[in-house]
Amino acid sequence: MDRLCLLDICYGLGYNTAVAIEAIWQINPDCVVEVVALESDIAVPQAAIAHLTDAAQLETRRRQMDLQNPDRTGDGESKIHNPTSKMGSVSFWDDLEVQSILKALATVQAVRTPKLYAQLLVGDARKTLKEVKNSGFLADAIFLDPFSPPRCPQLWTVEFISLVSQCLKPDGRLATYSCAAAVRQALLSAKLHIGATNPVGRRSPGTVASFSATNLPPLSLQEQEHLLTRAAVPYRDPYLQDSRENILKQREVAQQNSPLEPTSRWKKRWG
């Protein structure tokens, strides 16, 4: 594709955006990328940039010392330790273009080049996502990466995920690390099909969703049955302004009154 649009919900350290941009340009260096990122706390990406800058300076110093010191170990590596140069499992220090993008987003919240337009919207995602939707922006890929549902239920509700789905292209994909039944039920309520993704750095699988079931990895029988238990009772926030405490309490009451199978039975059945 010559143009790709990305929506990064809960931008955080910028990991998803950075990995996506790097991967896209490795495959097609001429691809034009548009990124809309949402983050509630600008201090988080700014802290990541401070760390990135420190690590980059250490890496530059290490290379200078390598040139001055011909003494190398048997495996061809310098005896001077290479400081952590990874965010997760992907190296960014050598990619100056990605570094500059992350720095600009953290400092001025916008980047515009011939092949990239990126903006970082700061604030409650329930409000900033409405702005995105009203702008007509549609994403080829959405990264849904809030804190876990018990910690941040505001961004896992039926209403919020419905709003998210309205920002997804008809052939786009949504990806999230969560496999919570309540989250998957909210995705289904938004008329999305869902599939399971392989675990990355954790035991549980993630979830991928799209408006078409084509090429989606299927859910296991265990996962399908999980959606028939009280764990699948979704979080609700009708006006997209309720507090965390109220959302959790309302769901607890809904679970108690639900005719669905108790989740404990499902857990016992599957060991």
Residue 239 placed within a domain: no
Given a cut of 90, whether residue 85 has pLDDT beyond it is no
Question: Pairing relation of β-strands 116-122 and 110-113?
Answer: antiparallel
Neighbouring CB atoms inside 10 A of 130's CB total: 14
Query: How far is it, in rounded angstroms, from Cα 179 to Cα 195?
Result: 10
Lowest mean pLDDT among 46-50, 81-85, 220-224: 81-85
Q: Would residue 42 count as lying in a domain?
A: yes
Q: Is residue 266 part of a domain?
A: no
Our measurement of the distance from residue 197's CA atom to the centroid of its chain's CA atoms, rounded to an integer in Å, reads: 14
> Which letter, b or e, does each residue of 74-98 get, where b requires 16 or more Cβ atoms within 10 Å of its Cβ?
eeeebeeeeeeeebeeeebbebeeb
pLDDT tens, 211-229? Answer: 999 999 999 999 999 999 9
Query: Is position 47 within any domain?
Result: yes
- The whole domain housing 58 covers 3-218
Domain count, the chain: 1
Minimum mean pLDDT among 46-50, 91-95, 198-202, 210-214: which range?
Answer: 91-95
> Tokens 């110093």 map to which residue?
61
Nearest to 239 by CA among 127, 164, 150: 127
| 17 φ, ψ (degrees, to nearest 5) | -60, -45
> Is 231 a member of any domain?
no
Are 10 and 146 contacting, i.e. CB atoms less than 8 angstroms apart? yes
48 within some domain: yes
Determine, yes or no, domain membership for 28. Answer: yes
CATH code of residue 135: 3.40.50.150
User: Poorest-confidence range of 93-107, 140-154, 228-242?
Assistant: 93-107
Which residue, among 104, 114, 172, 174, has the nearest Cα to 146 in the 3D structure? Answer: 174
Q: CB within 8 A of 165, min separation 6: which ones?
A: 174, 187, 190, 191, 192
Q: Is 64 exposed, middle or buried (0-12, 13-18, 19+ CB in 10 A)?
A: exposed
What does the alpha-carbon distance between residue 116 and residue 48 come to, in Å, rounded to a whole number?
21
Evaluate whether residue 226 is within a structural domain: no
pLDDT, tens only, 153-195: 999 999 999 999 999 999 999 999 999 999 999 999 999 999 9
Four-CA torsion 226, 227, 230, 232, nearest 10 degrees: 120
For the chain, the C-alpha Rg in angstroms (whole number) is: 21
Give the global pTM: 0.86
Provide the pLDDT for residue 53: 62
Separation CA 81–CA 71 (nearest Å): 13
Q: What whole-number distance in Å separates Cα of residue 17 and Cα of residue 99? A: 11
- Residue 249's SS3 state is helix
